[in-house]
């Protein structure tokens, strides 16, 4: 069959691109080897947030007395029910995406898609049969998988990746988490919150190393306070899985130490799914293991585009979706603005949460900016005090000359919901004074944004 557009991969990049293309009048097919919704919906963003919500509810129950609520008996974490709920949430969302694709007349083709030429895709079905479909345009949106290291070979039982971490049949008594990016930190928080003894190992000097240093240090303190053992400037040298417990040898500044744990979670990043999809055969150019594209996601082969985790840029679901929309709007003859990769929000759903945007204070200084920095702690927030969530702060960085917002860095309750305000502000080239003069509702956590801006200009009231 011939389509206007074929999308290989039904994740948040692929299915969004397909629906937008259909809205623009194209005939569209999505080739997906597993479940629509991709890793994010089935094995990443959504099911992890369901687990994290369970951990949050459990923590509230454990501290109910702090809020004047008396519970009969000690709350218990039912791990199997938490996992079951997480899978139900993911399944429901996947069915929702299937409905959206059908509603928008997008055909879903099950199987593994491989480029044969710039307009043809070979689909290998699970029963071994093969078929071909053709289209005027083809978008590659094949996503990524858990990255493996030679000294951390994942066996799916004792050394696991994020998929297994979502579906363990029983709660481990102890776990070593290797890597403190968003995936590692979120799982470290979840398992620790429900009673697993967690050790978090990070190669770099700070946890969540892409974040502003003050944010990283604050999260590390929160982790340690909650009982997580945090090792920074440390690397896992080897794991012996021959016994009942994994023996993990960790190189630290003070020398080699050994930790024992039931399970080791490897959270050392992701690897793009670029193998076996026909890139080499078509001579599609690569850049450091990813597909090389222009600002509208065109590859060097006419008719072939690529988006999401397989192209350079942040490997985030919301980025893939934006890239898919930009790509198909350009194909359709519209004139979309290229994505501004300096204005991409990042979120980590630990407790406290972390959210950020733009330059860190260090990066802004190194770039030669004269800066104004405003910081407002949630200890000074009435809403945070009332809610019992006083950990964290809002930190804003402005260009002293023009008042441009260069970066925003948040740690605290609900900050992942608050960062979008500053994405819009930066997109509109809002200045610090305009944020200060934008009346924020009281009492809210979000008014800390206004207060942080005011702090940068010496006008803060409540601190």
Residues found in the chain: 463
* Contact partners, residue 148, CB within 8 Å, separation at least 6: 154, 161, 266, 271
For the chain, what is the radius of gyration of the CA atoms? 24
DSSP 375-395: EEEGGG-HHHHHHT----EEE
* 96 marked among binding-site residues: no
185 marked among binding-site residues = yes
**CA 58/CA 39 separation, integer angstroms:** 26
User: Are the C-beta atoms of residues 352 and 338 closer than 8 Å to each other?
Assistant: no
Query: Cα 346–349–353 angle (5° rounding)?
Result: 85
Give the residue numbers marked as catalytic.
442
Could you tell me how far CA 25 lies from the centroid of its own chain? 31
Judge whether 186 is annotated as a binding position: yes
Residue 107 annotated as binding site: no
Check whether 309 is labelled as a binding-site residue: yes
Q: Is 364 annotated as a binding residue?
A: no
438 is in an annotated binding site: no
Q: Is 414 left (phi over 0), alpha (psi -120 to 50) or beta?
A: left
- Cis amide leading into 443 (omega within 30): yes
Residue 321, marked binder: no
Alpha helices in 72-148 (DSSP H): 79-103
- Determine whether the annotation assigns residue 411 to a binding site: no
Q: Which residues contact 68 (CB under 8 A, 6 or more apart)?
A: none
Q: Kind of pairing, strands 346-348 and 353-358?
A: antiparallel
Exposure letters 36-63 (e unless 16+ CB within 10 A, then b): bbbbbbbbbbbbbbbbbbbbbebbeeee
Helix (H, G, I), strand (E, B) or coil at 152: strand
| Residue 181, annotated as binding a ligand | yes
Q: Is 269 annotated as a binding residue?
A: yes
Q: What distances in angstroms separate CA 40 from CA 13, 52, 301, 327, one per listed residue?
A: 10, 15, 28, 20
| One-character DSSP codes across 175-239 | EEEE--SHHHHHHHHHHHHTT-EEEEE-SSSSSSTTS-HHHHHHHHHHHHHHT-EEE-S-EEEEE
Query: What phi and psi, each to the nearest 5 degrees, are found at residue 446?
Result: -70, -20
Q: Report residue 418 as tokens.
A: 């608050």
Phi/psi of residue 213, nearest 5 degrees? -60, -40
Distance from C-alpha of 303 to C-alpha of 323, rounded to nearest angstrom: 16
Annotated binding site for NAD(+): 179-186, 202, 269
Annotated binding site: 49, 113, 179-186, 202, 269, 309
Annotated binding site for FAD: 49, 113, 309
């Amino acid at each position: 069959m011939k389509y206007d557009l074929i999308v290989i991969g039904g994740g948040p990049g692929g299915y969004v691109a397909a629906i937008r293309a259909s809205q623009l009048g194209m005939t569209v097919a999505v080739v997906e080897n597993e479940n629509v919704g991709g890793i994010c919906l089935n094995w990443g963003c959504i099911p992890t947030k369901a687990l994290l919500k369970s951990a949050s509810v459990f923590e509230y129950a454990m501290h109910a007395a702090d809020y004047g609520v008396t519970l009969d008996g000690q709350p218990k974490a039912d791990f199997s029910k938490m996992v079951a709920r997480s899978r139900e949430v993911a399944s429901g969302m996947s069915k929702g995406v299937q409905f959206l694709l059908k509603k928008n007349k997008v055909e879903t083709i099950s199987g593994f898609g491989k480029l044969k030429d710039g307009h043809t895709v070979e689909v290998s079905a699970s029963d071994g049969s093969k078929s071909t479909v053709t289209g005027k345009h083809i978008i590659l949106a094949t996503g990524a998988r858990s990255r493996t290291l030679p000294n951390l070979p994942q066996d799916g039982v004792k050394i696991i990746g994020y998929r297994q971490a979502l579906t363990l049949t029983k709660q481990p008594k102890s776990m070593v988490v290797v890597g403190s990016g968003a995936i590692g930190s979120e799982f470290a928080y979840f398992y620790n919150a429900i009673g697993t003894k967690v050790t978090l190992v990070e190669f770099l000097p700070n946890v969540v190393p892409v974040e502003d240093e003050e944010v990283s240090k604050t999260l590390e303190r929160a982790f340690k306070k909650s009982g997580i053992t945090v090792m920074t400037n440390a690397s896992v040298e080897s794991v012996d899985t021959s016994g009942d417990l994994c023996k993990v040898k960790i190189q630290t500044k003070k020398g080699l130490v050994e930790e024992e744990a039931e399970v080791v979670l490897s959270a050392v990043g992701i690897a793009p799914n670029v193998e076996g999809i026909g890139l080499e055969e078509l001579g599609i150019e690569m850049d450091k293991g990813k597909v090389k594209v222009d600002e509208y996601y065109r590859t060097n082969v006419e008719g072939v585009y690529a988006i999401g985790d397989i192209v350079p840029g942040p490997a985030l679901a919301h980025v893939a979706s934006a890239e898919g929309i930009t790509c198909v709007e350009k194909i359709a003859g519209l004139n979309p603005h290229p994505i501004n990769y300096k204005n991409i929000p990042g979120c980590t759903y630990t407790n406290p949460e972390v959210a950020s945007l733009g330059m860190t204070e260090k990066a802004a200084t190194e770039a030669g900016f004269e800066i104004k920095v405003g910081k407002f702690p949630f200890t000074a927030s009435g809403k945070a005090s009332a809610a019992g969530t006083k950990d964290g702060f809002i930190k804003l960085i402005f260009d002293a000359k023009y008042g441009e917002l260069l970066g925003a860095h948040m740690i605290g309750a609900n900050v992942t919901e608050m960062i979008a305000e500053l994405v819009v502000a930066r997109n509109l080239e809002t200045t610090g004074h305009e944020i200060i003069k934008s009346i924020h509702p009281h009492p809210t956590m979000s008014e800390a944004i206004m207060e942080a801006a005011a702090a940068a200009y010496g006008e803060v009231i409540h601190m």
